[in-house]
Amino acid sequence: MTAQTARSQADEDEAAVLRLQDVSVRRFTPDQLILDGVNWTVRPGEHWALLGANGAGKTTLLRLLGALMHPTTGTVEVLGSRLGRVDVRELRARIGHVNSAQRVPQDLTAHAVVLTGHSGTVQPLWRTYGEEVRLRARDLLLELGVKELADRPYGVCSGGQRARVLIARALMANPALLLLDEPFNALDLPSREDLVEAMHQLAERRPRLATVTVTHHLEELSPAVSHALLLREGRILSRGAVDEVLTGSLLTSCFGRDITVARRDGRWSAYSGRRVAGG
């Protein structure tokens, strides 16, 4: 390796938001290999879609990225820190994580829910929120297009509104990495489109932010999505630029059904016909 190549590799390593090398996860009771030989790098400003059939390993992979578990073998580096050599509590505070199943007190206002992202708590720690923090929470609600919800109880917000409130909450820590676990779950069409637009604008305003979104539907991907990773039975089937990965042939292999893919005005769609033999 030449000195120039070594410098290029060092720069690449330093720039990585996520780096997984030969990662496997095994559940010993029962003996089950959930992830097998995963190699993956995510860099600043990249927006990844993570797709695969139920049971493919998406949730486990996302838990590794969020420093919520360790691999059985291999190495996982998140924001420059290797799991097993870092205080994961401190690392998690630097990662934005959005899950529609998050525990949120229904009587809290949307503003209060966003404030809890500053303290990383379920209930607000009011004494820790100075005026600057409170203003930042309102600014994030504005950025996500839901400023009018600031004083509305979270429990009466629609599904799409809740999703955007949770994203604002995750951004309170100003993370370099945002993980979204099926944020479009159970949203109707208008709510889905509002969230797609919010994600697109977020990517434009924050050019260094990296995101990984777990989804089952290509229609949920914003035009900002730049890369995709397909998981099949715990192994990476394909990863790379979105145009190269979200093809009919690769999605057919991933899901075991004959899938047709289309793209128009930066948005994706897919439909499935007959089941592929042996799929």
Radius of gyration over alpha carbons of the chain, in Å? Answer: 19
Tell me 276's DSSP state: P
Q: In the structure encoding, which two tokens stand for residue 137, read together?
A: 């929470």
Q: What does 119-141 look like in DSSP terms, one character per residue?
A: HT-SS--GGG--HHHHHHHHHHH
| Residue 17 pLDDT exceeds 50 | yes
For residue 30, say if its preceding peptide bond is cis, omega within 30 degrees of 0.
yes
Interval 188-242: pLDDT, tens = 999 999 999 999 999 999 999 999 999 989 999 999 999 999 999 999 999 999 9
* Contacts for 270 with CB less than 8 Å, ≥ 6 apart: 217, 218, 219, 251, 259, 260, 261, 262
CATH superfamily label, 3-94+179-275: P-loop containing nucleotide triphosphate hydrolases (3.40.50.300)
Weakest mean pLDDT among 69-73, 97-101, 219-223: 97-101
CATH 3.40.50.300 residue ranges for the chain: 3-94+179-275
What end-to-end distance do the CA atoms of the chain give, in Å?
Answer: 43
Give the tens place of pLDDT for each residue, 34-65. Answer: 999 999 999 999 999 999 999 999 999 999 99
- Average pLDDT value over all residues in the chain: 91
**DSSP β-ladder status, 210-214 and 235-241:** unpaired
| Neighbouring C-beta atoms of residue 170, cutoff 10 Å | 22
pTM assigned to the model: 0.89
- Name the packing angle between helices 189-205 and 131-143 (round to 10°): 120
14 pLDDT more than 80: no
27 bridge partner residues: 32
